[in-house]
Amino acid sequence: MADGKRKPPLQAAPAAQTVEEKLAQAEKELNSGEKKLLAQLRRRSAVRHQAPRAKVRHEPPGPMTLTAADGRQLGHTLTLLSTFGTASIEFQARTLHELLEASCRGTNGIAFEEWDVNGALAALHGIAPRDETEALLATQMVAVHSAAMRCLRQLKGSESIPQQDSNGRLAVKLLRTFTAQMEALQRYRGKGEQKMTVEHVHVHAGGQAIVGEVRAGGRREGVPEKHEERAHAKAVTHAAEPPMPSPHSQRQAVPVARRPRQA
């Protein structure tokens, strides 16, 4: 070479870490409590399917389009159907539109944000409706909760007493409505059935306890009725008889002792 110096040999660029390698490296930095939380999250994810995640494209005043965040459109559609508790694509599309219009901040003039849309879907997924009726009620619950939070935010920024009263009353009504919706969902899922569980049974001296299912009439499940005893049972009747004579036809006065008066 002209200058008499050698150039250092070229070194290969380090290979980029994969997602698994990055996660393994990040887990090493967790403490014991955080590792327990990670284990709980993995157990929860193992028994529940992932909430749907959409890629949002919206340029107001144009329409909004939702596509699969990972590019797998069929899997995304199946997850949406399961989240809305239905097998009807039309019902799912209609209810999804109502959910986003009522609970998200986007409008025809304000673009819908991806985190807001996916958050509403995750909220509905958490309620886990099992049919169309539960899906409608769950959609209302998400919308009412969002409206209540907006009222509380407006209450925080109220500058006058009338504004505070108006926002506070509306927030209370919405929060009560949300509680009533939760109770209605529980009643619907229970179909009106009431169950009583007996945890402790105390049998005192001389008493008897029945173990098994007891139905109306006091008969235990599996024990046949004694029809033959009922057939031969004698009826108990009351026969009219003359009154018994009383040795005291008239009541006599009983003297009562009195204390002498003191002078």
For residue 216, the model assigns a pLDDT of 52
For residue 27, the model assigns a pLDDT of 86
For residue 50, the model assigns a pLDDT of 86
For residue 205, the model assigns a pLDDT of 66
Q: How far is residue 115's CA from residue 122's CA, in Å, rounded to a whole number?
A: 10
Q: Which residues of the chain have pLDDT under 70?
A: 1-17, 19, 192-263
Phi-psi category of 143—alpha, beta or left, where left has phi over 0 and alpha has psi -120 to 50?
Answer: alpha
Q: How far is residue 104's CA from residue 117's CA, in Å, rounded to a whole number?
A: 7
Q: How far is residue 52's CA from residue 120's CA, in Å, rounded to a whole number?
A: 10
Q: How far is residue 100's CA from residue 116's CA, in Å, rounded to a whole number?
A: 9
Domain boundaries, the chain: 35-190
For residue 203, the model assigns a pLDDT of 64
- Digit-coded pLDDT (tens) for 103-156: 999 998 999 999 999 999 999 999 999 999 999 999 999 999 999 999 999 999
The CA-to-CA distance between both ends of the chain, in Å, stands at: 150
Q: Provide the whole-model pTM.
A: 0.63
Q: How far is residue 129's CA from residue 182's CA, in Å, rounded to a whole number?
A: 12
Q: Which of 142, 60, 155 is nearest to 108 (CA)?
A: 60
Q: List Cβ neighbours of 234 (8 Å cut-off, separation of 6 or more).
A: none
Specify the DSSP element, H or E, that contains 58: strand 54-58
